[in-house]
Homo-oligomer: A and B are copies of this chain.
Amino acid sequence: MNPLDEAMQRRSAAAYVAYGSSADADIRYLTHFQVTDPLVYVKKKGEQGIIIVSTMEYERAKRESMVQVMSRNEAGFFEFLKEDPAHREKATARMIAALAGGDVLVPPQFPFLLGKELETFFPVSVEKEAVKGMRAVKSAEELNHLRLVQRATDEAMKTALTLIKKSIPRGEMLVYRDKPLTSEDVKAALQKHLIDHGCIGRDTIVSCGPDTALPHLTGKGPLHPDEPIIIDIFPQAEDSGYFADMTRTVVKGEPSKEITEMYLAVQEAQSRAVSRIRAGISGADIHQDVVDFFKERGYESDSQGFMHNLGHGVGLEVHEIPVLGAGGESLQAGNVVTVEPGLYYPEHGGVRLEDMGAVTDGGFERFTRCEEILIL
């Protein structure tokens, strides 16, 4: 039985309702439709899902989405709006109520205002698990989408690494073709490579030196020799909507003793974690094992050291369940997760290595192929 139908049955609800654009990963997952403006999704118990879109999007939605399509006009929206033109949410709620015909389940991120309006018609409860749970376990088709994005990401990473490798240390700078090589240059090269493979990279991280001590600083300006450079890419395939996520840390020249030691520890932590991943083990356990391992090596897990989770699910969102961290749930075959230990110290800089792959019954199918080399 479809998990949404199960949830409706268990909770005596007549319909499940979602609202948003395809930037909401649940909407994209349930409809396979890419749209900038929000739409309404209604699935009655035991029936197919249906989306309600503007007239302008109607024909395209029929062609591109995998659900039934109704225009707002057909769904009575404009009739309802006439009664109180200043309150579009009220008209939207009435339209939804007419389609749902009874108690409604919504996802946690359902808009508060629309939820309150909907409550004037029927009881509204939040269903936290069903869609997130469906999304967390990838189908064969989804796994293929994810492998493809990771392949493009690997190639893009190689482009970036080659650029850094070919650069020449000159004083404080890395120089490429007689110009200082900057974070911006490397990001642009990466992003262009991704575009040629139908992917979009945003908020890409190419940070250097002290900046690497802050995990999500995106970095700017010239890159320097003998200092850690963190490259973290998490592109999305435009067609499928699936993400990949990977990180490498490199040094052009001579890394400090501390960075070398941190690198080796991070690499070992990653191998340990990867070798333990399989269906049935909890994300919390795998994370804790890495915390313990770092502790043995003299690295803390606090506001410095290993200061983030070991990993996260990846799919139509770059961060989704399961969590490989405190409170992390039991892993299931078909989860796609990152394994990304990192160590960060203001005085030394940061090191992070991140691979992505699928949890299987027997272990972990690593999608990431790009090798890990500290010194370029």
Contacts and interface: CB of A to CB of B under 8 A. Distances in A.
* Interface bin, chain A: 35 or more
Contact of A60 (B23, B109, B126, B214): B214
Contacts of A113: 108-110, 126, 128
A77 to B, nearest CB: 12
Contacts of A292: none
A56 B215 contact: yes
B110 A111 contact: yes
A176 interface: no
A250 interface: no
A108 B108 contact: no
B214 A308 contact: no
Contacts of A35: 216
B85 A203 contact: no
A279 to B, nearest CB: 22
B56 A308 contact: yes
Interface string A150-187: 00000000000000000000000000000000001000
Nearest to A86: B327
A121 interface: no
A36 interface: yes
A242 to B, nearest CB: 14
Nearest to A203: B34
Contact of A192 (B85, B112, B192): B192
A29 B23 CA distance: 18
Given A111-B110, A195-B188, A202-B238, A58 B303 contact: yes
Given A56-B215, A108-B112, A327 B188 contact: no
Interface in A301-347: 302-303, 307-308, 318-319, 327
A89 B58 CA distance: 36
Interface in A194-247: 195-196, 198, 200, 202-203, 214-218, 238
A340 to B, nearest CB: 12
Interface in A11-63: 23, 34-37, 54-60, 63
Contacts of A238: 202-203
A114 interface: yes
Pick from A85, A218, A318 the residue with the most CB of B within 10 Å. Answer: A218
Nearest to A34: B203
Contacts of A203: 34, 36, 238
B202 A196 contact: no
Given A109-B112, A126-B112, A56 B216 contact: yes
Interface in A229-287: 238
A239 to B, nearest CB: 9
Contacts of A370: none
A8 to B, nearest CB: 17
Interface of A: 23, 34-37, 54-60, 63, 71, 85, 89, 106, 108-116, 124, 126, 128, 184, 188, 191-192, 195-196, 198, 200, 202-203, 214-218, 238, 302-303, 307-308, 318-319, 327
Given A56-B307, A111-B112, A113-B128, 7 more contacts: A54-B308, A60-B217, A110-B112, A112-B112, A112-B126, A113-B126, A115-B115
